[in-house]
Chain A
Amino acid sequence: EADIYQTPRYLVIGTGKKITLECSQTMGHDKMYWYQQDPGMELHLIHYSYGVNSTEKGDLSSESTVSRIRTEHFPLTLESARPSHTSQYLCASRLAGGNEQFFGPGTRLTVL
């Protein structure tokens, strides 16, 4: 079954730790996105990729970085987590030429 996966679902870590949030999709989509969503608030685009070796920053500035070495994989990394990074991170993908973005279940990150 084609789907989009995010791990971990929940993460609680201390300040200064390096973390990587994983996102994988089995739909063969070229385009992938990372959004940040605070509780009860709208989604803000922080990174996107139009294909392998393509990454761009989104509309909301973020200290995180992303990579796209394989079509199906789009991990997000925080080199040194801070409490201000506490949020939900949602990954999405879209087929080239299509409009619908398919979302993963999200990773809820808490930095103490």
Chain B
Amino acid sequence: QQQVKQSPQSLIVQKGGIPIINCAYENTAFDYFPWYQQFPGKGPALLIAIRPDVSEKKEGRFTISFNKSAKQFSLHIMDSQPGDSATYFCAAGSNTGKLIFGQGTTLQVKP
């Protein structure tokens, strides 16, 4: 009930490609779904977040798609750049304020 499942584990794309990372959750009490970006040696930083009352949110080159009935959400990175190479974590949170994190996806964007 508390798990958040993330896939793929790793992803390699060419510069300009559109990597897509998927997450699925089980607990319908979750009402906050952030994506975090983590570079080596750094703590995670919030990239973009969505609530279940909308199906899509865009911030710059980053888009979250949310499917409430399927309990799935995904991150799309448009026009990916080598600087986007990092580990991406999805998470799910509820009114407790605690976050449950996915397993992470290591993205490599080749020049």
By a CB distance below 8 angstroms, the chain A residues around B25 are: none
A-B pairs with CB below 8 Å: how many?
54
Q: List 9 A-B contacts (CB under 8 A).
A: A31-B97, A40-B87, A41-B104, A42-B102, A44-B101, A48-B98, A58-B98, A102-B46, A105-B43
Sorting the interface of chain A by its residue count into under 10, 10 to 19, 20 to 34 or 35 or more gives: 20 to 34
The contact size tier of chain B is: 20 to 34
Q: Which secondary structure characterizes the binding site on chain B?
A: strand
Selected from A42, A102, A105, the residue in CB contact (under 8 A) with B101 is: A42
Q: Which residues of B contact A (CB under 8 A)?
A: 2, 6, 32, 34, 36, 41-46, 49, 87, 89, 93, 97-104, 106
Asked whether A103 and B49 contact (CB < 8 A) given A41-B103, A48-B98, the answer is no
The interface centre, meaning the residue of B6, B98, B104 with most chain A CB atoms within 10 A of its CB, is: B98
Inter-chain CA distance A42–B89, complex, in Å, is 8
Of the residues B32, B42, B43, contact of A99 by C-beta under 8 Å: B32
- When distances are taken between beta carbons in the complex, the residues of chain B under 8 Å from A45 are 98-99
Q: In the complex, are the beta carbons of A106 and B97 less than 8 A apart?
A: no
The smallest C-beta distance from B69 to any residue of chain A, in angstroms, reads 23
Chain A residues with CB under 8 A of B44: 43, 90, 103
Determine the distance from Cα of A57 to Cα of B55 in the docked complex, in whole angstroms.
34
A90's partner among B43, B93, B100 (CB-CB below 8 A) is: B43
Known pairs A43-B101, A48-B98, A59-B2; A100 contacts B34 (CB<8 A): yes
B42 — which chain A residues lie within 8 A by C-beta? 105-106
